[in-house]
């Protein structure tokens, strides 16, 4: 386990992961927010474009291939179809403004007066410190870099959301690097993730990433040939496959550690404790099947 020494105490991967997981629903709720869907639809953006557009908009009016590259485990066909002509009808700045407005409206609706609490302000302070700690070196972190270039909001509950957005994109960029290092395609990464026992069912991952049954089965066959999956009709990870998957998670944790090292162990624990009563109601209201789980 990797540790970083800071004024607040040595930080291990588990402590950093706990802080991230506790706050992650505070960000992830935007993908299920009715306020967000309504705001995007006003711009003529719906279905897959309502996911790819607002999240990719921080990068500017990039090509579909750039979005394919950064949204690693989604079917490239679906990405291209969603992004084709999107920036002409809904420029990135308008999508970002709609997203910002939807975050504010959703958090205020669900959390009420808690948005103005000292606890929210303190959580925002800690999360912002973590998110800014790695802003000087964005190499290999395209989605983090894009969001790090956006201006900070002023209100604490919005600062908190923007900070966690940066932190989750930072972790996601590192996770993609870990998957690529193991030689996995985006679809193969999903197949192995589905078999870890900690992920949503395969049919959910398949549908939410726009892969067909035939494409999924082809990836299963390729992973069998590599020795990662058993030959049973209902495959499982082999010991070799599980070792590779564990290495991916360990690498992801290591690559995501730096922001939380800036908080120290005490700061990570405080952030996780402050996040729980903020993330919990949002998860319960918008994604009750997840609560504090990773999206």
Number of domains in the chain: 1
Pairing relation of β-strands 11-12 and 3-4? antiparallel
**In a domain? residue 104:** yes
CA distance 62 to 116: 36
Per-residue pLDDT tens digits for 237-263: 999 999 999 999 999 999 999 999 999
Nearest to 167 by CA among 10, 32, 294, 33: 294
Question: The whole model's pTM is what?
Answer: 0.92
User: Which residues 6+ apart lie within 8 Å of 209 measured at CB?
Assistant: 73, 74, 75, 186, 187, 190
- Interior CA angle at 105 toward 143 and 161, to 5°? 35
User: Which residues 6+ apart lie within 8 Å of 158 measured at CB?
Assistant: 100, 103, 104, 107
Q: Phi and psi of 13, rounded to 5°?
A: -60, -35
**In a domain? residue 215:** no
Buried b / exposed e across 276-285, counting CB within 10 Å, b at 16+? eebbbbbbee
Sequential DSSP letters for 36-55? HHHHHHHTT--TTHHHHHHH
Residue 294: burial class (beta carbons within 10 Å; 0-12, 13-18, 19+): middle
Domain that holds residue 91: 3-180+249-286
Cβ neighbours, 10 Å, residue 89: 12
Residue indicated by tokens 């918008």: 286
What is the structure's pLDDT at 70? 94
**In a domain? residue 196:** no
Cβ neighbours, 10 Å, residue 42: 11
**In a domain? residue 167:** yes
Q: What is the pLDDT along the chain (295 residues), one digit of tens a residue?
A: 455 544 456 889 999 999 999 999 999 999 999 999 999 999 999 999 999 999 999 999 999 999 999 999 999 999 999 999 999 999 999 999 999 999 999 999 999 999 999 999 999 999 999 999 999 999 999 999 999 999 999 999 999 999 999 999 999 999 999 999 999 999 999 999 999 988 888 898 999 999 999 999 999 999 999 999 998 888 999 999 999 999 999 999 999 999 999 999 999 999 999 999 999 999 999 987 664 444 3
What is the structure's pLDDT at 182? 95
Chain-centre distance of CA 108, in angstroms? 22
CA distance 276 to 21: 9
CA distance 234 to 220: 10
Per-residue pLDDT tens digits for 14-40: 999 999 999 999 999 999 999 999 999
Buried b / exposed e across 145-179, counting CB within 10 Å, b at 16+? bbbbeeeebebbbbbbbbbbbbbbbbbbbbbbebb
**In a domain? residue 222:** no
- Interior CA angle at 174 toward 210 and 199, to 5°? 45
């Amino acid at each position: 386990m990797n540790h970083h020494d800071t004024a607040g105490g040595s930080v291990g991967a588990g402590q950093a992961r706990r802080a991230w997981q506790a706050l992650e629903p505070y960000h992830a709720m935007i993908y299920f927010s009715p306020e967000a869907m309504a705001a995007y639809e006003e711009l003529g953006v719906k279905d897959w474009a309502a996911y790819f557009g607002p999240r990719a908009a921080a990068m500017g009016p990039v090509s579909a291939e750039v979005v394919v590259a950064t949204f690693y485990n989604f079917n490239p066909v679906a990405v291209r179809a969603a992004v084709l002509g999107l920036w002409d009808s809904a420029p990135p700045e308008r999508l970002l403004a709609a997203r910002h407005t939807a975050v504010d409206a959703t958090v205020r609706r669900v959390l009420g007066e808690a948005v103005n609490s000292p606890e929210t302000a303190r959580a925002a302070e800690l999360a912002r410190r973590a998110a800014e700690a790695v802003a000087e070196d964005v190499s290999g972190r395209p989605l983090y870099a894009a969001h790090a270039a956006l201006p900070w909001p002023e209100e604490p509950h919005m600062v908190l959301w923007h900070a966690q957005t940066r932190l989750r994109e930072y972790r996601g960029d590192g996770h993609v690097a870990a998957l690529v290092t193991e030689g996995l395609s985006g679809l193969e990464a999903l197949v192995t993730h589905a078999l870890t026992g900690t992920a949503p069912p395969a049919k959910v991952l398949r549908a939410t990433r726009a892969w067909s049954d035939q494409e999924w089965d082809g990836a299963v066959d390729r992973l069998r040939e590599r020795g990662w999956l058993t030959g049973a009709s209902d495959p499982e990870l082999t010991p070799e496959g599980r070792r590779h998957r564990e290495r991916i998670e360990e690498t992801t944790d290591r690559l995501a550690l730096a922001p939380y090292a800036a908080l120290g162990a005490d700061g990570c624990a405080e952030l996780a404790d402050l996040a729980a009563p903020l993330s919990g109601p949002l998860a319960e209201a918008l994604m009750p099947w997840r609560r504090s789980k990773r999206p």
